[in-house]
Chains A and B, each alone.
Chain A
Amino acid sequence: MHSTDNETATAAPVHKAHGNRVVLNRQLAQMLKGGVIMDVTTPEQARIAEAAGACAVMALERIPADIRAAGGVSRMSDPSMIKGIQEAVSIPVMAKCRIGHFVEAQVLEAIEIDYIDESEVLSPADDVYHIDKTRFAVPFVCGARDLGEALRRIAEGATMIRTKGEPGTGDVVQAVRHMRRMQAEMRAIASMRDDELFEEAKRLQVPYDLVRHVHEHGALPVVNFAAGGVATPADAALMMQLGAEGVFVGSGIFKSGDPARRAAAIVQAVANYDDAQLIADLSEDLGEAMVGVNEQEIALLMAERGK
């Protein structure tokens, strides 16, 4: 039994996903809960993140703030760079592919990435279709601004959801907006009559079964993290109090003055998001936060990519 599963895993897993993998992949996300996933660009940064208590790292060539500054087309990272990070740490390693670019996803699966982020941070490769994630054995996390986007991604096979926020800005306003919207929509569905769910599925443009799940559980069928613009321990705790089950921090750590210290402080703030006294202590003398740009000041809204 065990060996059969292992054969599936090691011998060309592409296009061999089956029911069990979806469950296993959702369960890996459960193990990440209450944790912080940090963007890293080098093995050295990955080691700093792991030592600071990150529950996973996102390997990418440029963090979102630099992608934003550089402009042009941004793509999946060089596999050799990702492998370097896989060898440097023992925690799960995630990597991004472009929206709709299923070959980049196949490449990431071939190098045994632990989680693929089909991400709006990179330039979309397809302006209509997302990746059919049900055809992969590796898990996918996807961004969402509202419940409709979240459930569409889950229908496509995503086993973890994060808010889109606005990456690379250090401005948490969009992540807050997206998390509040998702939570409010779930509360509304939880309080609906059964016969109203059909219309709601039509309105959200999502499968009825997923609306039914939200109605019965008051929650997504997968783990839901916050991402995009988190820069301080208080930002991270804010997202947790708004209902996030964990936090992605992208540019906020390695664009700040003292990354190791800030990373450790954010990890503790997520574990104790209700403890204002502790968050006050954690917020002291953290050095320079990332500079940040307001959403009104930016030309490119990454959150508008991939609906």
Chain B
Amino acid sequence: MDTPARQTAIENVRAKAGSDRSSIAAACGQRATVRKRKPNVAVLAVQGAFVEHERRLEQLGCDCTELRHGADLARPFDGLVLPGGESTAQAKLLRDLGMLEPLRTRIASGMPTLGTCAGLILLAERVTADVSTPSLAGSMQDGTASEAAAEGSMTRGAFGTMPITVRRNAYGRQLGSFRTLAPFGDEGEPPCVVAMTFIRAPRIESVRDGTRTLAVVDDVPVAVQAGNQIGCAFHPELEDSNVVYERFLALVEGVRTAD
């Protein structure tokens, strides 16, 4: 339930995001005219909320390429977005439509990649089974129960390129979905509070090997970065803030400049 103070805070964030957007779009547009070609971002478009990502990326001055089957991989793109949706459905389609291995190779070799919710699960090196009942969710506070559950049902994410462990549906069923505000960014950067929507979200249970935590909610990491891969348990495509996209597009720009 929202307090008036929180509502005001959310509205302030929204207002700021709204005013930022036009200037960023303009900046991206300028870059594009200098470089002649806009950044081209591929969006996995087999299932889920991919249109929402495309709209946002286009507002920020990008061209988008929809990846629906293997042949689409022949088209040039500078970055990759893995949208929210159902990760089991997406993983199955990635495999059946001949995109899994070629994309994994590109991500592993440094293609800037943004994975949100289901996309985060696809990226995770380790995925533990979801918690299907509230009683089980309660017992997860107990370390031994959590470890025992994790031991029993560990799998690899479809790409498995990010050194993190996530637990599917760890916040519960749809009744556990929620929206909140939290700071986003690297340590040492000025804090930027953004609204975050979690829908049947995965929980990041551990991060390894130099993976940085970009945001924390209730002591649990909800956004992480490992090399050129950014993963969010929440849905930046459903909010007005551009902060997550800016970080991703900076990686895209970095790779383009290096080329």
Contacts and interface: CB of A to CB of B under 8 A. Distances in A.
Contacts of A90: 88, 129-130, 132, 168-169
Contacts of B52: 30
A139 B174 contact: yes
Contact of B172 (A2, A9, A23, A267): A9
B47 A55 contact: yes
B197 interface: yes
A271 B97 contact: yes
B55 interface: no
A146 interface: no
A28 interface: yes
B200 A4 contact: no
A32 B92 CA distance: 15
B46 A138 contact: no
A109 B48 CA distance: 24
Interface string B143-175: 000000000000000000000000011011111
A55 B200 contact: no
Nearest to A20: B179
B88 A50 contact: yes
Interface in B166-208: 168-169, 171-181, 197, 199-200
A32 B52 CA distance: 13
Contact of B93 (A23, A50, A115, A271): A271
A137 B132 contact: no
Nearest to B129: A90
Contacts of A53: 47, 88-89, 92-93, 96
Contacts of B88: 50-51, 53, 90-91
A90 B176 CA distance: 15
A24 B177 contact: yes
B69 interface: yes
Interface in B10-51: 45-51
A163 interface: no
Given A4-B1, A52-B92, A33 B176 contact: no
Interface in A10-58: 10, 13, 18-20, 23-25, 27-28, 30-35, 50-56
10 contacts: A1-B180, A3-B218, A9-B175, A20-B2, A56-B86, A112-B134, A112-B172, A264-B96, A267-B89, A272-B97
Contact of B132 (A4, A9, A55, A86): A86
B93 to A, nearest CB: 5
B27 to A, nearest CB: 28
A137 B48 contact: no
B93 A2 contact: no
Contact of A92 (B93, B174, B181, B197): B174
Contacts of A191: none
B256 interface: no
B6 interface: yes
